[in-house]
Structure 1
Amino acid sequence: MSLFDRRSLMLTLATLPLAACNFQPVYGPGGSGEIIRNQIRVAEPDTRLEFELVARLEDRIGTGSRYLLDYEITRSSRDLAIDADEVINRINLVGTLAFTLRDAATGRSLQTGEVATFTAYATTASPVATESARRDAEDRLAVALADQLVTRLIAGAPSW
């Protein structure tokens, strides 16, 4: 048996367990990723953090009008590290995103839930650098919340 044939055989054997459990790619034909792609209209953002969230959601799932997605972001910060001079040099941003997905035609709630994550940034003696770090941390927080939300929507889409 040639080397190529052995690799093909091993690849085929490796995919058998996936076929046995009815594995289907999320973004493949008929996958739950197709159910939400270009089907959801996200509520308009009011804050910079919400704008970053909506931008990431539209990058991941596109825009549409079949479903409506309402959300509410709660953000808090916690001092994470304080040095010997009692100066805060690391801050944790904690974000929670509560969401409701509705059918646009009927208004019926299809999926509700909440996702949460955190990120952090370092403070410096420079207020400009600290503000830049805070904004970058907020951007990362929005991306992480959006990615978790997309995962939840994809997981729930087959039951809509």
Structure 2
Amino acid sequence: MIRRGALLAAASLALPLAACGLQPMYAGGGSGKVARGIAAVEVSPIEGQSGWLMRNALSDRLGAGGQASPRYRLDVRLDDKLEGMGLLSDDTVTRERRTLRARYQLVDLESGKIVLDATAGSDAGIDVVSSEYAVIAAEQTALENLTRDVADQIVTRVALRLRESG
């Protein structure tokens, strides 16, 4: 009796979800439209250390490694800022903020048309301590984490655009 009631409750919840219009992003797995589309994206070289980290993160997420002839090119420009925030009375910085912003364009290589032009960004706070080594390590770790966050935002947006374009 309890099992039948649970089954009835589950069925009544599933009905409204079926009509809500939600669709799985990666329907069809690796052979689906979105998976094939993001695998056909080539990432242009990006300047600087943050650019190297970003290009690697994007290439890992897009799976663009073995694609023979890419259909799209992803151009990314980064703005990486590190600024002091917390100040003591002797003008010593006690806290820093690292901000990573990306302006990116997805270009269709066949037509040369810009399919997507958008921005993504993230920021992190860093405590400034007495050890210079610890501060440098924290700044580097923040950059690596921000790069992963921004790369995730970019890939999600690219996947959504490729799903819409059909």
Which bracket does the TM-score occupy, shorter chain normalised? 0.7 to 0.9
Deviations 1:85-104 (A, max 9, x none): 43212111112110111112
Does the aligned pair in 2 maintain the 1:35–1:157 contact within 8 Å? no
SS state at 1:37 partner: helix
Q: Which runs of 5+ in 2 are unaligned?
A: none
Partner of residue 70, structure 1: 75
From the superposition, tell whether residues 9 and 145 of structure 1 become closer, same or farther in structure 2 (CA, over 3 Å).
same
Cα deviations by residue, 1:102-142 (Å, 9 ceiling, x for unpaired) = 11222221111111221121222222111111111111111
Residue of 100, 115, 128 corresponding to 1:95: 100
Which residue of the partner structure matches residue 144 of structure 1?
Answer: 149
Specify whether residues 129 and 159 from structure 1 end up closer, same or farther in structure 2 by C-alpha distance, changes over 3 A only.
Answer: same
User: Percent of aligned positions with the same letter in both sequences?
Assistant: 24
TM-score by length of 2: 0.83
Matched, 1:154 2:159: yes
**8 Å Cα contact 1:36-1:61 kept in structure 2:** no
Q: Distance in 1 between matches of 2:133 and 2:11?
A: 56
> Under a length normalisation based on structure 1, what TM-score does the superposition of the two structures give?
0.86
Q: Within 2, Cα distance between the matches of 1:44 and 1:123?
A: 32
How far apart, in 2, do the equivalents of 1:32 and 1:75 lie? 34
- Calculate the aligned-residue CA RMSD, in Å: 2.1
Conserved in 1, the CA contact under 8 Å of 2:127 and 2:135?
A: yes
Amino acid at match of 2:72: Y
Change (3 A) 1:27 1:6: farther
Q: Does the aligned pair in 1 maintain the 2:78–2:102 contact within 8 Å?
A: yes
CA distance in 1: counterparts of 2:52 and 2:6, whole angstroms: 47
- Alpha-carbon contact 2:97-2:126 (below 8 Å) kept: yes
CA contact (8 A) 2:86 2:94 kept: yes
Shift of 1:152: 1.4
Which residues of 2 match residues 63-142 of structure 1 at below 5 A?
Answer: 63=64, 64=67, 65-142=70-147
CA shift for structure 1 position 29: 2.2
- The Cα shift of 1:39 comes to 1.4
Q: Is the 8 A contact 1:40 1:68 kept in 2?
A: yes
Instruction: Provide the C-alpha distance between the structure 1 equivalents of 2:19 and 2:110, rounded to a whole number of angstroms.
Output: 38
Tell me the residue number matched to 1:40. 41
* Partner residue, 1:27: 26
1:61-89: per-residue Cα shift (whole Å, max 9, x none)? Answer: 21041110001001222322223443212
